[in-house]
Structure 1
Amino acid sequence: MYDFLLSDEARVLRSEVRDFVKTIPRQLLLDMDADRVQFPKEFLAEAGKRNLMGCRYPREWGGRGLDWVSTVMVMEEIGTLGYIMACTFGVGAELVCDAIIRHGTDAQKEKYVKPLLKGEIFAAECLTEPRGGSDFFGTTTTAEDKGDHYVINGQKRFIVGGEGADYFLVYAKTDPHAKAHKSLTCFIVDRSEGVIVDYIYGLMGCRGGGAARIVFKDAKVPKENIVGSLHGGYAVFNTMMIPERLGTAAMTIGAARPALEVATGYTTRRKAFGREIAKYQGVSFQVAEAAMLLDACRSMAYTTSRAVDAGVPENEIRRLVSESKKFITESCQKVVHNSMQVMGGIGYTNVFPVERIFRDVRLASIWTGTNEVMSLIIASEWYRKYMDDRASGITRDCENDAVEAFAEGEKIYE
């Protein structure tokens, strides 16, 4: 349905991604959900061999030179394997690589981006700490200048891909006395002595994605591993919010899609009171709502990705990306809810994958910035736009389009 938004090269890539998705063994998905597989290295290695990761990056660093529209398409298709598969796919290739491509040196790109996009090494982003995740500037991890290197101490947790990562993108305080926006630095930290990784068990869903607790104990990091500038971590973080949140939105569409497909097939075969349950409005209307929401999600994801590709001003992108992340993740959770509901009790069992999808997509509205944080950003940017538009006089003042608009003593604000 959205083919008209894709270039010829992107449509070819979509066929490649779909072919790849079909090759993934069912048993891998089951073993990951059962915590028998802690991190799908073979899956990522094969994706790298097929040149499917980081499609929007320059060819010289291992990408395909495509755009955000193509990236959204890829993330949706990978997401059909399961939300956690898309998470592990995106964390290294769409988050860590993005930071290094946009802010790193050529030497860093050669050493860390090219082999990752080939599927030869793996990476994770370390953002959340035990004290919280949304409070980015409250980071307590520190990096102390030791001359030719820094020494990092602190903890990060819920780090998707951490168990299998060969290196980490880490934000740490390098100037505890500076203002929050100027106190952090972004580092590439190799997995080495001083970096302790513990796989986290007991997750409700999204198991097998290498979610880990990372402890840094006097971890040595050479100065050439600073990404961007010293005390310039905010600039890196700020640009990464696009791949973090828009990527999350796109992969959630893919993760929810199979639930609706399974439910649609089930309702055309399951009979009650002498006919297929799809013929009852109580069922078909829930399927219709889910289909509508998925289409609305795709429309928002593709519109936002086109805006990013077009270079729309940063404040507008912040609002669009935040709206996309919030609307799509919540709508897709509703899609899965409806899918389970029309299937009845069987949907609540592991006879069908809907119960696993239900558990997995619950993460979508929490990670990469909670949806409450998205609401804060949306509200801030919307009010800013409203005030700017009023000040510029570019729009009609519709407040006056009422019979008693100018009645004395009626409009009281204090």
Structure 2
Amino acid sequence: MFDYLLNEKQKQLKQEARDFVKTIPRQMILDMDADKIRFPREFLQEAGRRNLMGCRYPEKWGGRGMDWVSTCMVMEEIGVLGYIFACTFGVGAELVCDAIVLHGTDAQKEKYVKPLLKGEIFAAECLTEPRGGSDFFGTTTTAVDKGDHFVLNGQKRFIVGGEGADFFLVYAKTDPDAEPRNGISCFIVDRTDGVETKYLYCLMGCRGGGAARMVFKDVKVPKENRVGGLNQGVKVFNTMMIPERLGTAAMTIGAAVPAVDIATGYTSKRKAFGRPVAQFQGVSFQVAEAVTLLDAARAMIYTTARAVDAGIHDKQIRRLVSESKKFVTESCQKAVHNAMQVMGGIGYTNIYPVERIFRDLRLASIWTGTNEVMAMIIANEWYKAYWKDKSAGKIRDMEEDAQESLAADEKIFE
């Protein structure tokens, strides 16, 4: 129903994504959830062959020269297959590519971006470390300058694609004496000597994505594989927060849609007390709430995507992206909860995929920055914007719009 926001080129891309989703065999979905498939190479290869990955990047590097609205639309469609499909799709084609396209050299784009978007090679982003997740600037991974190369040592964990990636985007400390924000650099690290996939995690959901702990021991990284300036990894990190969090939110909608769709069909057919259970308000109102949440989530996604495309001020985008990630992921989790609830006991079994979707979407509010971190960012940016506008006299002083607003003795703050 949101197609009115899309132009004809975007509508065509949406249909291409839907056509692709239809080709994915049921057995692949089941085998990934059973961890029989550790990394979906064939899925990514076919997505690349169809030129569906990285649609917002320049055609010169393998994209389609489109925008964030198009990207969010594609991510939602891919998410219908399952959250992990969208995760693996987005990690390489959105997160890693974004860093290289925005901050890398033409040589890096030619060597890594073009074949990645074609589905010929695979990539993973290495951010989280064993000692902490959201504390990005507390990284203990190091890269020591040795003249014509760096020597990288450290560990990263919960790395989606760690099992199947051919190269990794790794953040490491390059100036141990600098303030944390000013001493980190970003590197492209090929799977070579010293790079080891040490441990594959047994996950509650989102299985089959090769989530691993990566160990880097005395890895030689050529100087030309540094992305962005020396000790300026924070600049790469800041731009990547958009695809990490906005992309996560968009794909969550797609992953929740099948649960609501299945619940709608089930409650229309399932009878109790002589009539379809959908005729009982206790059921239909929960479906109505789920549908409303999904539509509200889409509205927020498209609004934020358009703001990013329009180049709105960084601080406002930071808040909008954080709001989107928090609101959309929590709304989708609630929508899936409702879907399972109205289906009753059968929804808790593997007769329907709702139980898998429920498990998969639990990750949405945890990864790419927990929703508690999103709330912290939202509050911080909101308060700063409030006092900036207040000080500049840009908004009406609404505090005075009360009968006794001048009762100064009643306004005690300390």
Alignment of 1:294-313 (within 5 A): 294-313=294-313
Separation of aligned partners in 2, 1:81 and 1:104 = 32
User: Counterpart in 2 of 1:50?
Assistant: 50
DSSP 3-state at the match of 2:193: coil
DSSP 3-state at the match of 1:164: coil
TM-score by length of 2: 0.99
Separation of aligned partners in 1, 2:384 and 2:43 = 44
Separation of aligned partners in 2, 1:16 and 1:199 = 36
1:281-340 deviation digits (Å, cap 9, x = unpaired): 000000000000000000000000000000000000000000000000001000000000
Deviation at 1:403, TM superposition (A): 1.0
Q: Which amino acid aligns with 1:355?
A: E
Deviation at 1:407, TM superposition (A): 1.3
Alignment of 1:14-413 (within 5 A): 14-413=14-413
Deviation at 1:88, TM superposition (A): 0.2
Question: Kindly tell me: are residues 411 and 224 of structure 1, through their superposed partners in 2, closer, same or farther at Cα, counting changes over 3 Å?
Answer: same
Task: Report which stretch shifted further, 388-397 or 193-202.
Answer: 193-202
Separation of aligned partners in 1, 2:198 and 2:275 = 53
Do 2:158 and 2:201's aligned partners in 1 also have CA atoms closer than 8 Å? no
Deviation at 1:7, TM superposition (A): 1.7
Deviation at 1:162, TM superposition (A): 1.1
Separation of aligned partners in 2, 1:408 and 1:343 = 57
Separation of aligned partners in 2, 1:151 and 1:198 = 19
TM-score by length of 1: 0.99
DSSP 3-state at the match of 2:342: helix
Separation of aligned partners in 1, 2:380 and 2:138 = 21
Q: Which amino acid aligns with 1:191?
A: R
Do 2:139 and 2:173's aligned partners in 1 also have CA atoms closer than 8 Å? yes
Separation of aligned partners in 1, 2:66 and 2:212 = 32
User: Following superposition, which runs of at least 4 residues in structure 1 exceed 4 angstroms of deviation?
Assistant: none
Deviation at 1:4, TM superposition (A): 1.7
Separation of aligned partners in 2, 1:395 and 1:409 = 25
Deviation at 1:32, TM superposition (A): 0.4
Separation of aligned partners in 2, 1:407 and 1:134 = 45
Separation of aligned partners in 2, 1:380 and 1:53 = 34
Q: Which amino acid aligns with 2:54?
A: G
Deviation at 1:199, TM superposition (A): 4.8
Separation of aligned partners in 2, 1:58 and 1:198 = 36
1:71-110 deviation digits (Å, cap 9, x = unpaired): 0000000000000000000000000000000000000000
Q: Which amino acid aligns with 2:5?
A: L
DSSP 3-state at the match of 2:368: coil
1:199-235 deviation digits (Å, cap 9, x = unpaired): 5232100000110110001011000000001101000
User: Counterpart in 2 of 1:3?
Assistant: 3
Separation of aligned partners in 2, 1:131 and 1:53 = 33
Deviation at 1:349, TM superposition (A): 0.3
Task: Report which stretch shifted further, 402-411 or 341-350.
Answer: 402-411
1:35-70 deviation digits (Å, cap 9, x = unpaired): 000000000000000000000000000000000000
Percentage identity across aligned positions? 76
